[in-house]
Amino acid sequence: MEKSSKIFVAGHRGLVGSAIVRRLQKEGYTNLVLKGREEVDLTRQEEVERFFEKERPEYVFLAAAKVGGIHANRTYPAEFIYQNLMIECNVIHSAYKYGVKKLLFLGSSCIYPRECPQPMKEEYLLSGYLEPTNEAYAVAKIAGLKLCQYYKRQYGANFISCMPTNLYGPNDNFDLHTSHVIPALIRKFHEAKINNKPYVEVWGTGKSLREFLHVDDLADACLFLMKNYDDEIWINVGSGEEVSIAELANMIKEIAGYKGEILFNPDMPDGTPRKLLDISRLKSLGWERKISLYDGLMSTYEWYVENYR
């Protein structure tokens, strides 16, 4: 990619897309195409094809998606599978049809099997049953990975995919009904502190293990892969470290300065018991994360306090 190359960041207002935009701008890329849903609804084929025909982007970062935590995935499975399938099919096909030089599709580590061997290698995908609480989202994301793989195999399109672990950072979704675990805990502990609540309830037993990556590290990896990776097999992007939900909750409690208790609710789901990516393939290319979990949580909490309404 040249600094003047025309680059379309799909989903530029979201957690991942906004981080990719910040990274590209920091690196001096000046010709970014940024369209909100009110301008181009990516679930509508006609609008997407009209956009690609008019704008003719050279490179595409496909970060647009409908995302959410366990509660949202269990409550709205039809929306999760439909919207994500439509976005992927429309953008990937139009990118091929209108001659995009390279496309990077963002998958998710939650699409690996529920009982997957740990750490999870790229080749473990589709080797077992999916986690039921996010099956609809996972099926759609698997389809996106396969679209890129098959368009590359059949047409020679330079479409690649990466598989990020659990992400967090500025511009995350802090809605308690639809958010992932880190933004939900940040909001819960902050509100409990300012309202002097005696305890904070955390779903599950707290024993589940998770890997987390700051979204600015992911954006750095995406730019790295766009420059250095061309294989049809997807590639894992993570920190290589894991933490229990209980440890995470106590870390956020400390950062927020909350003095009350943490009550775990074992009647609510834990989700996948463990989910750690094998990142040896990415490390062999020369990339590693730079932001520690504690530092990333601290900066995200500070961003939330300053910006969220």
Distances (CA, A) of 193 to 12, 29, 271, 296: 32, 41, 27, 20
Tell me if 133 is assigned to a ligand binding site. Answer: no
All structural domains of the chain: 7-171+212-240+276-292 (3.40.50.720)
Query: What pLDDT score does 124 carry?
Result: 96
The reported pLDDT for the residue numbered 71 is 82
Of 29, 59, 96, 137, catalytic: 137
SS3 170: coil
The predicted-structure confidence for 17-60, as pLDDT tens digits, reads as follows: 999 999 999 999 999 999 999 999 999 999 999 999 999 999 99
Of 122, 100, 98, the C-alpha closest to 109 is: 122
Residue 125 DSSP SS3:
coil
Task: Note the pTM of the prediction, 2 decimals.
Answer: 0.93
Identify whether 258 is a catalytic site residue: no
Bridge partners of 168, per DSSP, are 214
Beta-carbon contacts of 177 under 8 Å, excluding residues fewer than 6 positions away, are 71, 72
Over the chain, what is the mean pLDDT? 95
Asked if pLDDT for residue 298 goes beyond 90, the answer is yes
The answer on pLDDT for 176 being more than 90 is no
User: Which of left, alpha, beta for 49 (phi over 0: left; psi -120 to 50: alpha)?
Assistant: alpha
Q: Is the pLDDT of residue 275 over 90?
A: no
> How many other β-carbons are positioned within 10 Å of the β-carbon of residue 30?
11
Confirm whether residue 244 is marked as ligand binding.
no
Helices marked H in the chain: 15-26, 45-55, 70-75, 77-97, 135-155, 181-194, 215-228, 245-256, 280-285, 293-307
On whether 300 is known to bind a ligand per the annotation, the reply is: no
